[in-house]
Chains A and B, each alone.
Chain A
Amino acid sequence: MSGPWFIETLARNGDVLQRRCIDTLPIRLGRGYDNDFVIDDDYVAASHARIEPDAAGRLVLRDLGSRNGLNHRGKRLQEVVLSGDTVVRIGHTSLRVRAASFPVAPELEDRTFHRWEGALPGAAGILMAAGFALFARWLSDTQYFEFVRYFEALAWGAGAALLWSGGWAFANRLFGRHARLGRHLFVFGCGLAALAVTSLLAATIAYAFSLEAFTRYASHAATLLVAGMVYFHLSTVDPQNRRRYRWIAAGMAVLGSGLVLAYNLQRTGRLSDELYMAVLLPPSVRVSQDHGIDEFMREVEGMKPALDRGRGRKPGEDELEN
């Protein structure tokens, strides 16, 4: 084993805060200025520890009689044998020592699409968010055209996109190296667009084929989409932990759906979001056949036994539909 040696102070998450190259052994550590490696930490002695080779040629860190000593894996030790991955806590500072010959892990394959960073995806994301806001405004607009209402919607859409993505970019800068605001804006824009498309599609399918379940449980699709959006944000922050984030997002989706069901049950006594399908679309969308009045009245009559059973029950103990 030969020098030079690198002393690295580490953050709690393992990031290197400071690295210093020292050519010769022994290396003296402490707060005093006569040390080879000065540690600016009030809990470190002026002359705290020394790194030197032992008889077997291994690198050893020895306590020089300090009050707070050396801590490794939660234990206070008089001396610690340093392999390249041994992290020792001195006072409030975590240290690692590596020789120049330390073998590093092979480089990771770069799957990041570097041209899709920054302004381009950011602009696309803001456009999608603003487009969503404009569409929502237009859809619910029953008054004569007024420019200011659409401008307002545009501002709301862009503002919401910036606020949401800004939060994620802040977290990205904190835990990753870059803010990646453009990517987060793009994820948000895509999420909103997916929400809009899904709800329109669900309403259309429900109305066209008379499949009421598509609108009755629409909030669960939305929950799933929001969880997916969070997954992509998390993966942007730290692309290494995709597998874990998949579980987190799945857990969020299940929790969200569970909350929706519990809320519906508590508020209205049924699991579905609505009492009946209220969507009305243009006649050209319809595919399923109309039924006769007789058939409808037969269905109505079919509800009687369940209602009469419900009469005898206490409030809150009604049968669940669907």
Chain B
Amino acid sequence: MAATEIDVKYVAHLARIALSPEEEQKLGAQLENILGYIEKLNQADVSGVEPTAHAFPLVNVTRPDETRPSMSNEDALRNAPAKAGGLFIVPKIVE
């Protein structure tokens, strides 16, 4: 793990968050500081250790493939910023 210069602009683009130049700069400095602290994890001996994704992993939690009541179209659209004809309206994706 190298203490690298985090490319805030690039990562913000991955995260789809538009940052102002001031925000970019301030965040960059704060994140450098935090990443510097996180370097200490390099000292841990993790050879042969399995990663933990969940404290109590369950497997194959399934239910029968039966239709059940779920949210109505009306309820699902209730908080839509823009809607029409039972659909969410968004800016054009494909020209």
* A and B are partners in one complex rather than unrelated chains: no
**B residues at A contact (CB < 8 Å):** none
**A residues at B contact (CB < 8 Å):** none
